[in-house]
Each structure stands twice: as C-alpha cells, then as structure tokens.
Amino acid sequence: MAVNLSFAACGFLGIYQLGAVGALLRHGGRLLGGLQACGGASAGALVASVVITAPHKLESCKDFTHRFANNVRRQALGAVTPGYDFMLELREGIEEILPLDAHQRAEDRLHISLTHSKTRRNRIVSHFSSREELIQALLASSFVPFYAGLKPVEFQGETWIDGGFTDSLPIMPQGRTITVSPFSGPMDVCPPHTGRSLIMLRLANMNVHFSRQNITRLNQALFPPPEGRMHALGQEGYEDAVHFLKRESWTPSTS
C-alpha cells in the first residue's frame, strides 16, 4: 500500500514537525521506503518540501527555524513590526535549504495547499516548472495577510494566501496518508490530549481538541515561544513520532 505524509499548517510550531521528521529518518526506514508523496499547508508545506527534496538538510532547517523565531521575537510587534520583512526572511531560509534541482525532486511528490486570494478556494499544486516556481508556491502557502504583509504572493499568474485557511492538512488521493500536527486531535502523530473536554473543532479540514493547550499552541504558531520551549517542542515531535512508529509496528519496539 502506498504511504503518504501530510504536515499541518502550524506556523512556528513547525519545529514540532521537524522533530517528528527526525524520528522518521532515524527509525522509520520501512515507512519512508514506501513513501509516495508528502503534502502540507503553510509551515507544513515547508516541512514536506524538506522531506521530499532535502532530508539531509533537516538540521539546517531546524537551525533556520530557531533563528527565524528569535528574529521575530526580537521585533517590538513581532512579525507585524513596521520595517520588518517576514516574507523576505522566509524566502532566504527556503533558498538556503532547497537544492538546485528541488523542483524536479518535488514533481508529483510534493503537494502544496494554497488558498486563492480572491475566490478563497483551495488548490493543491504538485507541478513546478522551476525551482523559483516551487519557492513561490511555498511562500504563497505560508502567506498570512496582514501578519506577513499586505500583498498576496503571485504563483502561476494568480495571487494566493496561506493554504491553511482552506485545507490545513491535505489528504492524498491514493494510499494511506499519515498525518502530523502539533495540535492534539485524531491525527496519527500529534501531542496527546490531556484535557477533560471531548469537544472537537474543525479547522480547515483538520479536527483538533478544544482545549487550553491547543489554544496556547495556536497563539505560539504566530508568536513563537521562548527558545527553550521551541527546543522542547522539537523533542516532543520526535517522541510522538517514535511512539506512532512503535504503535503501528513500523519499527522494532526497542528503537
């Protein structure tokens, strides 16, 4: 059976997903050996692009995420501070990590969720004619209006915004899609739910528990938590992914 991975839109909590990827690379050889495609929205699309095009750059991606978070944290008003160019810093990080042939590696294997800026309809793209076009798709999927800027990102002649507004956790049309999210819910790899409430919220095709912890995580997605908490989130993602691999018998229980 074909296996896919999908990473949720989650802003700076993408560090959790990068931790999960680290566990998959170290312990999930059987799973990755049958990997057909990866999908994602916003930060999840960025994580998916690393898995498909540059898994060897995982540590560099983690380092960039920490630097990026530190720079946002230093701004008086965070990402919306006048004079701070959020999208420029994101572009520089993407260019640093993606290999020159990233668009060829991504062809039909990387599925990026976008939201049309005018119709607000979702589109999943998996064809990229150049590395620059791939970068534009990743930037478009990550663009939160007003937070990241005022002008939507152009891709293939149209303008787009964050894919997390319309499909924050894309499911591939064929095979099983293993879902990864830093929000507790019914996803395959996610933090355990520790609250009493069983109420679920649906956020752009992703179900999450209505809990104080998830509300805190939603805030941290846009306003990165302190450095120590960022490192802890990465470790939690790693441990939750290892737990999933053991539960699903993808790796020996001794891993």
Q: Which residues are catalytic?
A: 42, 162
Bridge partners of residue 176, in order along the sequence:
3
CA angle 180, 184, 190 (to 5 degrees): 30
Dihedral sign for Cα atoms in the order 52, 58, 60, 66: positive
Tell me the C-alpha distance between 55 and 242, whole Å.
18
